[in-house]
Chains A and B, each alone.
Chain A
């Protein structure tokens, strides 16, 4: 069965907006982190959908790159969050404002 490209892209946009709102509104660093992953996957979904529709495999290959970079980023990000927690005993980003001018 073939759904129209619009459906995929709409789902992708919805997921992306959920991710953005999560980053902007949630206070827990881990949840923010998850929201970032959500945005990445929304982008992945759009890539795969275009790839299938236009019969071009490049988009799917790019998705693999994105996924591997996301994995690396997850490792680094989690390490930062753990280090932060050890120092500040919190993962609430509104309490972490060392860069305040």
Chain B
């Protein structure tokens, strides 16, 4: 037990260090792609096997493994301890399982990149940090992982750092996350102040103590509300919710496996994990839960409307991720913590599959771009050739973009595996039964409805928003699939330039993830279909790590059946609407015009992403920058630099005047001696 946990944690760290140091100091090592990639993948696959073993041997009682005392100061006593329970096991399985598949995929995707070793070192370091986050027994170790994943996210978004755009995206992610982290820290301070004031002895933020009812009752209602809201602000940073979601779409600047692993499947769900872990505490602050549910619902619909207007395939998926994370927060807000974790799991399957599929497509489109450049149709930077004989028209301004869906189309013929898995994942996220997304999304909406049924009228509002978002999700995901894989090819010289399917290291993870997206939902069947296994596992009749509210009124089976069919109807309705009414497949990007007509002036708002970035630029960034320029820069130049330079000038001026006494004539010095002696003598004789 102790050894397995230690191995799970340390193996990714050790191989991150090995690949990183070898790559740094032994240039010849960098060419051994199979060794680097193999070790990197093993560093995640072995912990996965160990986690499966732990999972199978788990008996229902949480176990805490303590390794050493991290820090001790006064009342503060932090142990380096990990917790094995239902929640941390589920999260560990997701992180290592999906992580291993994505590492395997990266072996092929990153082939030929100069930073191959760096990539795997960072990825393994990320896994290490993420495992610390989900396995932590106290909030401080969790915070270590929390900051660690933020760092790795920064390193990997800015992986191709020679492009200034990518480093800017990395900075943005890091700085926006900082705001959330600050709120997290404040929450820790408040907890420490309250707990150490009221109880004797040391306190180490460990969940066993913190989440015990005695401890939770120490907090006043107002304090608890504040703490939960601060944790929620922390979660909005990591998990990209309003108002801090702006970094996630830009984070797509990183390599696609990074988007799949960090910015879809694992890191962005850490905010959900935090709230689920603290669910007994969150449950005691109902006002905070209302805020969480409403913010989640608004994020979900906002991101979904943006996603429907985007042309970059990765951006569609990024906004889709924000939207799905909004769903999960909606679930947390209505008290369905286990459903949030269930959706984290199913989302990890189909969203990782979608991202990796888009990576496979981008891989192929890069091949097309190189071939077109080779033929001279495109210039060396992907810009259309000026030569009138070879002139091609791109469907948009600017250079050829391998990620733009307007130049794709018809890829299914060339990449059957990618297309098939992408379609499965698309239907899963759209919520077509019996795929995974249907059950998890339906359970979220059901829980929102149930809360409304029990008298909370605002819950009906978030339920309606959730239903509308579900329709939009089905539409925009089907649009992405159709624009990419169906219809006719739209890239220049499409008759003679053929993309090709990716190597097996890339398609195999796609197939596994698609399979998981098919069967993953069966662990969470609704009550009328036999009951949810994951609910039983995580909640464990009130003894598990995930709490849940008690409802007086139960929704009758007939209504539950009704809601199930409503879910089926909106999902399939959305897909069929996109496929056969708007016909993105046959009409290509022209079909966007129909959507534009439907939404009217709103469409511009969507495609401008609600101008949130511009708003922040205007309201936060510009005042800060201008304030610095108008107030602090002059202060620095005049007051700070002025003081330093003034001292130097004063010394110089004095020296200029004093240098006159250094005549260089020996006799003047001798005179000074004599006068000095005379003065000393006079003092001795007469004073």
Contact = CB atoms under 8 A, between A and B. Distances in A.
Contacts of A20: 674
Contacts of A96: 664, 666
B664 A101 contact: yes
B667 interface: yes
Interface in A17-73: 20, 23-25, 32
A97 B663 CA distance: 7
A99 B668 CA distance: 12
Contacts of B664: 96-101
Nearest to B656: A101
Given A101-B659, A101-B660, A101-B661, A93 B674 contact: no
A24 B662 contact: no
Nearest to B655: A101
Contacts of A101: 658-664
A36 to B, nearest CB: 10
A24 B355 CA distance: 94
B661 A93 contact: no
Interface string B644-668: 0000000000000011111111110
B674 A24 contact: yes
B671 interface: yes
Nearest to B671: A24
A87 interface: no
Contacts of B593: none
Contacts of A6: none
Nearest to B669: A99
A25 B664 CA distance: 16
Interface of B is mostly: helix
B529 interface: no
B670 interface: yes
A100 B666 contact: no
Nearest to B658: A101
Contacts of B666: 93, 96
A15 B659 CA distance: 35
A44 to B, nearest CB: 18
A42 to B, nearest CB: 14
Contacts of B674: 20, 24
Interface in A66-101: 93-94, 96-101
Contact of B663 (A24, A25, A32, A100): A100
Contacts of B661: 101
B235 to A, nearest CB: 69
Contacts of B670: 23-24
Nearest to A97: B664
Given A20-B674, A24-B674, A100 B667 contact: no
Given A20-B674, A24-B674, A94 B662 contact: no
A94 B667 CA distance: 8
Nearest to B665: A97
29 contacts: A20-B674, A23-B667, A23-B670, A24-B667, A24-B670, A24-B671, A24-B674, A25-B667, A32-B667, A93-B665, A93-B666, A93-B667, A94-B665, A94-B667, A96-B664, A96-B666, A97-B663, A97-B665, A98-B664, A99-B662, A99-B664, A100-B662, A100-B663, A100-B664, A101-B658, A101-B659, A101-B661, A101-B662, A101-B664
Interface of A: 20, 23-25, 32, 93-94, 96-101
Given A93-B667, A96-B664, A101-B663, 6 more contacts: A23-B667, A23-B670, A24-B674, A97-B665, A100-B664, A101-B662
